[in-house]
């Protein structure tokens, strides 16, 4: 029997199952997406100005879904530290423990690591956030100090001890005041956040110049 022109089978839309669907993210990808969105919001609005609604919207998830992964903004901040900065510190620690070359060569590798994975990436927003808002959020500052600063200073002391043991330097000043060594990285973040649009600082060259100045001051000897 011929179908009439109004037969719904002739004009029915394509079934939903055949329509193109967005790929489904697994839990790890969704968590990463939320953290990327949080980092972007923190960079744009600061910690105080960031809203979880905006993080969820940027990540493309419902706000209820966000809460399945992170209970509040503080948890998002801690997650970002664990995902972006903690692995860098762990890799740096491995280099210090196992690298067979000179201290100068080791510092070159660490400068590259810091620039490539923090100072020239969106992750540097976490450093800016701490500088700008740490005093207003002491619990965040305490967490950042424990998880990032303390570990970073311990790495510097290990590098100094290694250099003294190898006979390459003869002063323990940076072991007593490791802040002297890491200070240029903070200066680079502050400078480029304020003046980078019209007077950008070359982070790698800046840190390398500081390395040379520090080593000369410590009585550097090639072994």
pLDDT > 90: what percent of the chain? 84
Contacts (Cβ under 8 Å, ≥6 apart) of 20: none
Structure tokens at 140: 């965040």
Span 162-186, average pLDDT: 94
Q: In this predicted structure, what is the pLDDT of residue 99?
A: 95
pLDDT in tens, 194-214: 999 999 999 999 999 999 999
CA atoms within a 13 Å half-sphere pointing along the CA-CB vector of 93: 12
The residue whose two tokens read 């810091």 is 114
How many Cα neighbours within 13 Å face the side chain of 24? 2
**pLDDT band with cut points at 50, 70 and 90 for residue 222:** confident
The residues, ordered by sequence, that sit 6+ positions from 223 with a Cβ below 8 Å of its Cβ are 102, 166, 167, 168
Residue whose structure tokens are 């923090």: 118
pLDDT value at position 93?
Answer: 96
29-72 pLDDT per residue, tens = 999 999 999 999 999 999 999 999 999 999 999 999 999 999 99
pLDDT tens for residues 122-154? 999 999 999 999 999 999 999 999 999 999 999
Under 8 Å between Cβ of 141 and 134:
yes
Looking at the predicted structure, is the pLDDT value of residue 7 above 80?
Answer: no
State both tokens at 204.
Answer: 């790698």
Cβ contacts of 52 within 8 Å, gap of 6 or more: 63, 66, 72, 73
Largest CA distance in the chain: 100
176-196: pLDDT as tens digits = 999 999 999 999 999 999 999
Predicted confidence (pLDDT) at residue 22 exceeds the cutoff of 50: no
Buried b (16+ CB within 10 A) or exposed e, 137-173: beebeebbeebbeebbbebbebbbebbbeeebbeeee
What's the predicted TM-score (pTM) here? 0.85
Q: What tokens appear for 95 in the block?
A: 């280099």
Q: Who wins on pLDDT, 8 or 85?
A: 85
In this prediction, residues 8-24 reach a mean pLDDT of 49
Write out pLDDT tens, residues 60-102. 999 999 999 999 999 999 999 999 999 999 999 999 999 999 9
Cα-based distances in Å from 148 to 18, 39, 153, 200: 49, 17, 9, 26
Helix/strand/coil (H/E/C) assignment for every residue in 92-117: HHHHHHHCCCCHHHHHHHHHHHHHHH
| Structure confidence at residue 10 (pLDDT) | 47
């Amino acid at each position: 029997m011929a179908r009439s022109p109004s037969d719904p089978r002739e004009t029915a839309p394509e079934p939903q199952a055949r329509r193109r669907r967005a790929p489904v993210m697994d839990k790890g990808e969704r968590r990463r997406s939320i953290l990327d969105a949080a980092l972007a919001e923190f960079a744009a609005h600061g910690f105080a100005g960031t809203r979880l609604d905006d993080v969820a919207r940027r990540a493309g998830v419902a706000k209820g879904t966000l809460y399945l992964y992170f209970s509040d903004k503080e948890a998002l901040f801690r997650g970002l530290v664990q995902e972006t900065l903690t692995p860098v510190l762990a890799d740096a620690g491995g280099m210090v423990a196992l690298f067979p070359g000179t201290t100068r060569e080791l510092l070159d590798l660490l400068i590259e690591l810091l620039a490539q994975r923090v100072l020239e990436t969106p992750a540097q927003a976490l450093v800016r956030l701490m500088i700008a808002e740490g005093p207003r959020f002491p619990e965040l500052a305490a967490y950042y100090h424990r998880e990032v600063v303390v570990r970073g200073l311990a790495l510097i002391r290990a590098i100094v001890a290694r250099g003294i043991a190898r006979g390459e330097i003869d002063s323990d000043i940076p072991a007593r005041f490791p802040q002297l060594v890491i200070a240029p990285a903070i200066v680079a973040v502050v400078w480029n956040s304020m003046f980078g649009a019209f007077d950008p600082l070359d982070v790698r060259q800046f840190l390398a110049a500081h390395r040379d100045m520090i080593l000369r001051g410590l009585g550097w000897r090639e072994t």
